[in-house]
Structure formats: structure tokens, C-alpha cells
A and B are shown apart, each in its own frame.
Chain A
Amino acid sequence: MEDDDLIRDALRDYAYATPGTSRLDAVRRQATAARRRQRLVRLATAAVVTLVIGGVIAWIALARPPAAPPVNPTPSPSATPTPTPTPAAGYPEQSRASHGLPTGGLGDTVEGLTLIDVEITDAECPDATACPGLGTLTVENSTNEPISAFVYFNVFRNNTPAVSDAQRVQLAPGESATVTIDVQPALADSAPVGRTGSIYSWNFSVELA
């Protein structure tokens, strides 16, 4: 026990003999610098992580294969060209009457039937160019009475009536119907000239049944 006291005294004498050179202000400076370093390291780490994540996302986005284009069958040379739907605007509306019936264009009401939609599909004329083929007209009964009528699709070539064909409709008030009228055979017989050689126009007329 006496040795233990001796050791304690000797150690304390050694430990507390002289003042050191460390200073509290130096500790404070060092701690502040350490904090600043720590903050910079955190910022740098965050920046690196952000860049890496952004890079990975960009890489994944760029590496993704583009959507495969739809595979179209190769048309055989003998195949008939597929009719291409052409908006009615592709053909001007004709204001001339056809066979004495009242006529109109898109949005017009003739004999109580309003043309609410029209689509003209090109077909192949004998001269291997396109000319009007199918006329698809949607008409609506705008009256309060049922209507039974023939809806005519009239095609003009160079402002002259070329062909006209009709389908019958029976519509209750407010009801609509779509009729498809094929004018291509008659047109081909009468004038085998496509759109490149002539100006085609159209209108519709209604004959009450």
C-alpha cells in the first residue's frame, strides 16, 4: 500500500509538474476548422452522390432501346394501293346544285338533315393517279320530325357534275346516321383522269322520300 502511495505521488508529480503549451483558444480554432472541414466533406460527398445518381439515371435513359417501329408488310407489286383517307378539306366544296336538288357542305342543313362529318377516300383512277373514291357522310336529323330521305354524294370535275350517288336514311329527331357512297367505278368509267389532271369538288344533297 505504501508502494501504491509512492507510485501515486510520483505519477502526480510527473503529471502536474509544469504547465503545458496547449491553449484553449487553439482548441477552439482547431475545432472550428475541423467543423468547416467536416461540412466541406459533407457537401462534396452530397455533390458526388448527386452526380453519380444523376449520371446513372441519364445512362439508363440513354441506354434504353428506342421503341421498335411498327413492322409494315412489304406490299406486293400487284396489290391494289390501299385507299388513303383524305379529309374533305382536301377537296373543295361545290356550291352548284346537282340535278336540281338543294345542296350544302359540311355543317349545312339541307331538308332537315345536317352534315356533321364527311370523309373522302382516294381511289385509283385508270390513269394510275388518285381520284375521289368513297364518300362517308354523317348526317343528323335536326328537326322534330322523323325524316326519310336519300342522301346524295355529288362529285364535280372542273365545276361540272361528274358523278352522284345516294343512299337512303330514316332518322328519328336528333338521330344521326353514316352513309358510305362509292363513286369510284362510275367516275372511272366517265372520265379516267386523276386529281393531277383535274380539279374535283363535292357537295351533298337531300331528296325527301
Chain B
Amino acid sequence: MGSDEGGPPEDFESWAQNHWHRLLGIARIVTGDPTLADDVLQDCLVDIYQRWDRISGEGSHPLAYAARIMGSKAANQRRTAWGRRVHVTDDAAILDASGGEETGSIDNRMIVAGALRNLSARQRQVVAMHYLLDMSVADIAAELDQPTGSVTSDLTRARQRLRTDLTGGGDLAHGG
């Protein structure tokens, strides 16, 4: 299961290339900051590269492991002055990176970025694992080594908060 697809185990480079897009998405949700996401993803991949033999073993879920690592790395980065300085630039980063797209999509992403910032690091991590990796509460709890009740609580609160932030400020257009 090292490939996250149920196939034969892959080497690190193939796995990273195949899942690059998803990994970056997880990093963006976990950090709530596109700029910080790049750094967190890179740090996370360095960790995974060094432990790949263990992580890619039978029955493992490297993407879930990556989400867990990113959560702690994001929390560490935000504790530093550098992390806080980068944080104020994230709206601009969304605008810079979205050149040529419809204004509505850009607005939606800025709303989502704001909503993610209102979540705790643990809630963002749980949200990323549930909505991007389609993991069940039990799987998330097992991966994070947390009681199922805690994960359920985090997910419920995060969902309520996101619902409020994403729909309360106006209609949220379907993107994607």
C-alpha cells in the first residue's frame, strides 16, 4: 500500500512525482498559507525521503503520514518570526499565482484562505485528511494517534466554522 493506490511499492521519486499535486494541496490546507505551504511541503518531503524505507512499507499510507508531518512542521514554522512575516503575504500570493483566472475563483480562494486561518492547526490537519485524502474519522484517529472522539470533535467544529465562513460572507460559487 506504499503507493497509496494499493499497487506495488514505488520508489520515493515516483511516489513524490505522482502525488506532487495532492501533497501540495494538503500542505496548503494544513498551513492555510500558499507561500508557507511550499516550504512545509519541501521540509516534509525531506523527512519522508530520509525515512522512505519505513514509510513505504506494506500497509502504510505515505500521504496520511505526510499530512501528519506537515501539521507539526506548519505549527513549528508559525511559531517563528519568519513564519509570521510570510503569513501576511498569503493573499497576495493567491493573487499572484492566479493570473488570468476568473475573479470569482480568486475571491473564493481568498475566502477559503481566510476561513482556514480561523481554524486551529489540528483542525486544518483533520480537514485536509478528511476532505483531500477522503480518510474516515477512524483512519485519521489512527494516523494521528488520537482518540476518535477528539478527531470527530475537531472535524465537527472545523466543518461548522468553514460553513459559517464560506457561506456567511456571501454566496460561495462552486469552483474547481
CA distance A74 to B76 in the complex (A): 78
Q: How large is the interface on B (under 10, 10 to 19, 20 to 34, 35 or more residues)?
A: 35 or more
Report whether A14 and B17 are in contact in the complex, using a CB–CB cutoff of 8 Å: no
CB pair A31–B37 under 8 Å, yes or no, is no
Interface residues of B in 1-35 (CB under 8 A from A): 13, 16-17, 20-22, 24-29, 34
**A22-B42, A34-B50, A35-B50 given; A14·B28 CB < 8 A:** yes
Is A63's CB within 8 Å of the partner chain B?
no
Instruction: Flag if B49 contacts A7 (CB, 8 Å).
Output: no
Chain A interface size band reads 20 to 34
Q: Which of B22, B42, B167 contacts A27 (CB 8 A)?
A: B42
Answer whether residue A128 sits at the interface, using C-beta atoms and an 8 A cutoff.
no
Which one of B56-64, B79-87, B105-113, B139-147 contacts A? B105-113
| A18-B97 in contact given A7-B131, A11-B112, A12-B176 (Cβ < 8 Å) | yes
Q: Identify A15's interface contact among B20, B25, B98, B166, CB under 8 A.
A: B25
A12 to B167, alpha carbons, bound, how many Å?
A: 16
Tell me whether A6 is interfacial, beta carbon within 8 Å. yes
Closest CB in chain B relative to A143 CB, distance in Å: 87
Q: Would you call A168 an interface residue if the criterion is a C-beta within 8 Å of the partner chain's C-beta atoms?
A: no
Contact A24 B16 (CB under 8 A): yes
Could you show 22 A-B contacts with beta carbons less than 8 Å apart? A7-B162, A10-B172, A11-B127, A11-B131, A11-B162, A12-B25, A14-B28, A14-B29, A15-B25, A15-B26, A15-B132, A16-B22, A16-B25, A16-B176, A17-B94, A22-B24, A22-B38, A22-B39, A24-B20, A27-B16, A27-B49, A31-B49
Give me the 7 closest cross-chain CB pairs, A-B, nearest first.
A15-B25, A13-B175, A18-B97, A14-B112, A31-B49, A27-B45, A13-B176
Binding site for B on A (CB under 8 A): 3-4, 6-22, 24, 26-28, 30-31, 34-35
